[in-house]
Amino acid sequence: MYISNRVFLSFLLPVIVFSILLYYGILWNVYIATHDYSPLSKGENYIGFNGFKEVFSSSEFKGAFKRTIMWAGLLVVAGNTVGLLLAISIYQFESARMRNTLTTLFLYPLSLSLVVTGIIWRWLYDQYKGINVILDPVLGLNPSWLEGSNAFWSLVLTSIWVYAGFSAMIYLASFYNVDRSLVESAMIDGAGTLTILTRIVIPNSAQGFILSTIFLALFAIQMFDLPYSMLFLNPFTETMVMYIFSKFVSLYLYLASAAAIAVIAVSAVIVIPYALYGIRRWILRIA
């Protein structure tokens, strides 16, 4: 397929502009992280990598880092599992209207602001007025959802509710892209629905798993709105982004920038392998 130079440049120019802005922001963060750049200091003193050493030796940052990675792992595993089950359930319906209705229903949580979601679930987790009103008389359970270490697991559960529909949508898109002739051949050979799903549809939807995993991990790493709107700056639910926010508002800008570089590095570890995979699979194939 031939692409004219004008069309090629029209697509390339926005990429160049946004890349320049992106890397300028990263380099500016590195500059701030290596200078005691704060209204609290008397000037702009070069401190080298002392800011990074202070961040990485901080027990607060270590806790936030561990919590964020754990949140990412849990969201990836549970989000993919629930999303795949939802996608399989929706895929079973022959009616396009029913499939569209269910997809919209499960995507609805993602359409809400995370702040709104956090407030709603904070009410639901209320020990005396929320879902415990049902759990206590029926099952005899009255957990303290938002107290102590329970708060972290409650927030993870909420994030799964938010993003499982998004994962289901990605899996459904992968299902619909499976070569229809493979499915029809299996049906002619007498294969049942479960066999077709497990032997043909799901194995040929690896791209959906990769995309879902990347997005879910990035959502968790960037998590701020949900925990902040539910519990503000709670030490049991503090993420890396919340750590950055707390240092920024405290005017420790070099610490905030050093932590921001760490977040960028973790995100890059997730995104770059997929980007390279995409280049090998699509761009080089087109060339």
Report how far residue 219's alpha carbon sits from residue 228's, in angstroms, rounded to the nearest whole number.
Answer: 15
Q: What is the pLDDT of residues 218-247, one digit of tens each?
A: 999 999 999 999 999 999 999 999 999 999
Which pLDDT score, from 0 to 100, does residue 287 have?
A: 47
Q: How much of the chain, in percent, has pLDDT values that exceed 70?
A: 93
Mean pLDDT calculated for residue range 16-42: 85
Which pLDDT score, from 0 to 100, does residue 286 have?
A: 46
49 three-state secondary structure: coil
Helix axis angle, 206-221 to 59-91, nearest 10°: 150
Mean pLDDT calculated for residue range 84-91: 91
Q: Rounded to the nearest 5 degrees, what angle is found at the Cα of 178, between the Cα atoms of 172 and 184? A: 115
Mean pLDDT calculated for residue range 82-96: 89
How far is the CA of 79 from the CAs of 174, 190, 216, in angstroms?
Answer: 16, 33, 7
Which pLDDT score, from 0 to 100, does residue 3 have?
A: 63
pLDDT at 192 over 90: no
Backbone angles phi, psi at 51, to 5 degrees: -65, -40
Which pLDDT score, from 0 to 100, does residue 26 have?
A: 93
pLDDT at 40 over 70: no
> Given pLDDT bands bounded at 50, 70 and 90, which one contains residue 64?
very high
Mean pLDDT calculated for residue range 214-218: 94
Mean pLDDT calculated for residue range 160-181: 90
Mean of per-residue pLDDT scores for the chain = 88
pLDDT at 275 over 80: no
Name the more confident of 164 and 201: 164
Most confident of 34-38, 42-46, 113-117, 277-281: 113-117
Report how far residue 252's alpha carbon sits from residue 256's, in angstroms, rounded to the nearest whole number.
Answer: 6
Helices of type H across the chain: 5-33, 50-56, 59-91, 96-111, 114-124, 132-139, 150-176, 180-188, 193-196, 206-221, 225-231, 240-249, 253-278, 284-286
Q: What is the pLDDT of residues 247-271, one digit of tens each?
A: 999 989 999 999 999 999 999 998 8
Which pLDDT score, from 0 to 100, does residue 68 have?
A: 97
Which residue segments constitute the domains of the chain, with CATH numbers given? Answer: 55-286 (1.10.3720.10)
> Given pLDDT bands bounded at 50, 70 and 90, which one contains residue 178?
confident
User: Torsion over CA of 150, 152, 153 and 159, rounded to 10 degrees?
Assistant: 140
Report how far residue 68's alpha carbon sits from residue 52's, in angstroms, rounded to the nearest whole number.
Answer: 18
Which pLDDT score, from 0 to 100, does residue 193 have?
A: 72
Q: How long is the chain?
A: 287
